[in-house]
Amino acid sequence: MIKNLLIIQPIFAPDAVQAQRNIDSINALGAYLKAHGTDGINLSITMGGWAKTDELWNKVIEAGKVHFGDKFNPTKFDKNYGKAFVVNNLYKNVVAQNHNIHALISMDSDILFPIDLNHIFVRLSVASEKVVESKKMNWGIIGLNQKGAGCHFQTCYENQMQYSISIRGQTYEERMVWPTVSSGIAGGCLCINRELFDKVGGYRQFGVYAGDDAYLLYDCARLGFSYQMSDSIHIIHPPEPDQKYAEWKVRTCQRDTSTGEKANIDSQIKEADNFWNSK
How far, in Å, are 134, 141, 160, 171, 269 from residue 253 at the CA level?
35, 22, 30, 41, 13
Which residue ranges of the chain lie beneath pLDDT 50? none
Secondary structure tally for the chain: helices H, strands E: 8, 9
Tell me the per-residue pLDDT of 117-163, one tens digit each, with 9 for 90 and over: 999 999 999 999 999 999 999 999 999 999 999 899 999 999 999 99
pLDDT at 71: 80
pLDDT at 279: 78
Give the burial class of 64: count Cβ atoms within 10 A of its Cβ; 0-12 exposed, 13-18 middle, 19 or more buried: buried
pLDDT at 138: 97
pLDDT at 59: 97
Burial 106-129 (b: 16+ CB within 10 A, else e): bbbbbbbbeeebebbbbbbbbbbe
Q: Could you tell me the maximum CA-CA distance found in the chain, to the nearest angstrom? A: 55
User: Domain-by-domain residue ranges, the chain?
Assistant: 4-277
pLDDT at 30: 97
N-term to C-term CA, the chain: 46
Q: Which helix (H) or strand (E) segment is 227 a member of?
A: strand 226-237
Tell me the per-residue pLDDT of 222-247, one tens digit each, with 9 for 90 and over: 999 999 999 999 999 999 999 999 99
pLDDT at 214: 94
CATH number of 4-277: 3.90.550.10
Helical ranges in the chain per DSSP H: 16-36, 54-68, 83-95, 120-135, 194-200, 212-222, 243-258, 266-277
Q: Indicate whether this model's pTM tops 0.85.
A: yes
Of 161, 98, 153, 96, nearest in space to 126 by CA: 161
Pairing relationship of beta strands 226-237 and 139-148 according to DSSP bridges: parallel
Question: What is the rounded CA–CA span in Å between residue 74 and residue 179?
Answer: 36
CA angle (194 as vertex; 190, 197 as ends), nearest 5: 75
Amino acid at 209: Y
User: Within 10 A of 48 (CB to CB), how many other CB atoms are there?
Assistant: 18
Of 16, 22, 20, 17, nearest in space to 49 by CA: 22
How far, in Å, are 33, 129, 134, 175 from residue 118 at the CA level?
11, 19, 24, 15
Taking the CA of residue 73 as centre, how many other CA atoms within 13 Å lie in the half-sphere pointing to its CB?
Answer: 4
